[in-house]
Structure 1
Amino acid sequence: MMQNVLNGLARLCVSSSRNVLIQNVPEKSLSTFVNIGHYHQQYRFINKHAYQTEPGWKAFGNKWMVKFPEQYTIKKLRLEKLAGRDPLTGKRVVGGLGGGHKKKYRWVDNCRHGPKEGPPLVEKILQIQYDPCRSARIALIAGGDKARYIIATTSMKVGDLISTSGHIPRIAIRPKEGDAHPLGALPVGTEICCVEKYVGEGSSIAVVAGSRAFLVRKVGDRCIVQMPSKQELSLKQECMATVGRVSNEEHSSHHIGSAQRLRWLGFRPRSGLWHRKDGRHGRKIRPLPPLKVIDTRKVEVESAASLTVGAIC
């Protein structure tokens, strides 16, 4: 009994002395100490990369971060892997991520905006490339003195000309795959991809490999779009969309083949993790949600405080 009490007091003294050591050591010399606990590892991660202080960094979930320059460029950008850690705190919040082959980020322009009056913007496809940071193929296009990356569709080929227009005519146009038009200019039943959810913010619907959406009907100045999940969205007719289907539609049917390939892709072993229920008494099939109307993004405005001065009697 006495031996257990003495062991407990010894552990308490060691832990308290370790905390005092960490608090009294300056920040610059903290990296010279080894095996001083989890707090040292977390602090070193934040201090090494300094994501909070350097401008231009943008996090893509908890997988990687990219440093964007001030102006658009087609050069390959620097990419830092997060390995499932939060970009602000450095704590590990997602398991199963880490490692993988070295890669560079290609800046894809999701905003295909053309002139609302006059002839459309015509660009030529220079290359169809593989992008390690996304499942779809990307196309390098150029028009005039500008070049940019866009998400490629299935029938895009090198040397083709694609057009981008923001005009909405009275009668629907005849769509051509690869061209970008507002939803109000396309006929009902058109197969589309890379659809804008909010006007001017870039495409965010049907942008992964093999995905597509359909323009099912028009109601006034609204366009009803059926997403790949069969849910319907009511969007403004000014939202831009690309005609066709996203390239690399065989992506979902590819077989991984080995555990080592998953490590190359940046995924760690998943043994012992949570598994979705399946079988007869597992996941239930429920009806689709009702039509969702999307108008404009809501911006919270702080109410100004009013001060009143009372008369002093």
Structure 2
Amino acid sequence: MASFCRGLLVGAYFDTILKPLNLTVQTVRYRFKLIDLPKPGSGRSFRRIVHFPEKYTVKPLDVTNLAGRDPETGRVVAKGIGGGIKHKYHWVDWKRDGPKEPPPALEEVIEVIDDGCRTGKVALVASGKRLKYILATANMKAGDILKTSRHIPRIPVRASEGDAYPLGALQAGTQVCSVEKYAGTGGFYVHAAGTFATILRHIGDRTIVQLPSKKEFSLSKECMAVVGRVSNIEHSKTPIGSAQRLRWLGYRPRSGLWQRKTGRFGRKIRPLPPVRVIGDPPPKPRPPVVLSLHY
């Protein structure tokens, strides 16, 4: 009732005093700049930016730590990232390229070191005068000789741990890691510490591979894979031990409002999805056609 009476008084004041003065009421419009904030899980990293040079090098690369902020706007995007010990980033060469005819190429392992920017260890290997870092397997050590070949023989090869062969050259049941999605593009699947994929069967020119998520993928037989599982197997079983060590790893504490669900809520058991067939890589965009007038 009070608001209704107040509205009548304001209306009467406008009709008796302001209207005879021919005053117009102008509405002020405020313009806001809408910014689309990126979301975690969109493929962008908000932990660090690695400055890659044009040419491959084994020297540690320069890193810019973002602490969960967007590099352009500076706004906090991932609230669980921050702090942490400074680590050196080693450039891993994901392509294990070898000859298409026997014999295979040989590489020697110089040393196996820890890398703070990834869970698995990396190995420095030498082939001729070239040095490069690769993802180390579980039992890889200094002095090992690794074989790399793209040849697919009629009979499956007896590969050792750390060797790189096409999926079609390995027998069913082999544990592999750093599997290519498309032939010649470099290792795409199975990079985390202690993980491995299993070759289930060969069907024609395709190979069915089961990833650590228990999903099955149908890949080309020419896709390269490294025999063995990724190093640092005890990574997932190592307890953090203290909140301070979690801060050393670069994680900020949660708000305290979120709690994990217990068994009283139940769960849904769903069947695994069907085999996903990875076909040819998507075509590259064509260069633009520039027309000019010349006489």
Q: TM-score, normalising length from structure 2?
A: 0.79
Q: Does 1:216 align with 2:206?
A: no
1: CA distance, partners of 2:73 / 2:147: 44
Q: Which 5+ residue runs of structure 1 have no aligned equivalent?
A: 1-18, 20-41, 43-58, 305-313
Q: CA deviation digits over 1:60-85, x for unaligned, max 9?
A: 61110000111100000111111112
Equivalent position to 1:225, from 198, 204, 209: 209
Instruction: Give the Å deviation of 1:215.
Output: 0.4
- Report the counterpart of residue 130 of structure 2 in structure 1: 146
* CA separation of 1:100 and 1:261: change in aligned 2, threshold 3 A: same
Does the 8 Å CA contact 1:128/1:140 hold for their aligned counterparts? yes
Does the 8 Å CA contact 1:277/1:283 hold for their aligned counterparts? no
1: CA distance, partners of 2:44 / 2:247: 19
Q: Does 1:82 align with 2:66?
A: yes
Name the aligned partner's letter for residue 211 of structure 1: T
Q: Does 1:71 align with 2:55?
A: yes
Q: Which 5+ residue runs of structure 2 have no aligned equivalent?
A: 1-29, 36-42, 289-295
Alignment of 1:271-290 (within 5 A): 271-272=255-256, 274-290=258-274
- Report the counterpart of residue 100 of structure 1 in structure 2: 84
Name the aligned partner's letter for residue 203 of structure 1: G
1: CA distance, partners of 2:184 / 2:44: 21
Task: Count how many residue pairs are aligned between Structure 1 and Structure 2.
Answer: 247
Equivalent position to 2:236, from 252, 262, 266: 252
2: CA distance, partners of 1:194 / 1:92: 32
1: CA distance, partners of 2:260 / 2:154: 49
- Range moving further from structure 2, 226-235 or 92-101: 92-101
Name the aligned partner's letter for residue 160 of structure 1: D
- Range moving further from structure 2, 259-268 or 111-120: 111-120
* CA separation of 1:176 and 1:273: change in aligned 2, threshold 3 A: farther
Equivalent position to 2:246, from 253, 262, 279: 262
- Report the counterpart of residue 14 of structure 2 in structure 1: none
Instruction: Give the Å deviation of 1:301.
Output: 5.7
Name the aligned partner's letter for residue 85 of structure 1: R
Instruction: Specify the structure having the higher radius of gyration (Cα).
Output: 2
Name the aligned partner's letter for residue 113 of structure 1: D
2: CA distance, partners of 1:108 / 1:282: 42
Equivalent position to 2:147, from 137, 155, 163: 163
Alignment of 1:46-57 (within 5 A): none
Instruction: Give the Å deviation of 1:278.
Output: 3.6
1: CA distance, partners of 2:187 / 2:258: 32
Q: CA deviation digits over 1:171-220, x for unaligned, max 9?
A: 11112111000001111111111111122221121111000011000110
Name the aligned partner's letter for residue 207 of structure 1: H
1: CA distance, partners of 2:245 / 2:213: 29
Q: Does 1:178 align with 2:149?
A: no
Across the aligned residues of Structure 1 and Structure 2, the Cα RMSD in angstroms comes to: 2.1
* CA separation of 1:96 and 1:146: change in aligned 2, threshold 3 A: same
Structure 1 or 2: more helix by fraction: 1
Name the aligned partner's letter for residue 97 of structure 2: H
SS at match of 2:217: strand
Q: CA deviation digits over 1:220-255, x for unaligned, max 9?
A: 000000001111000001100000111110000001
2: CA distance, partners of 1:224 / 1:183: 9
* CA separation of 1:276 and 1:204: change in aligned 2, threshold 3 A: farther
SS at match of 2:87: coil
Q: Which has the higher contact order (CA 8 A, sep 6+)?
A: 2
- Report the counterpart of residue 109 of structure 1 in structure 2: 93
Name the aligned partner's letter for residue 121 of structure 1: A
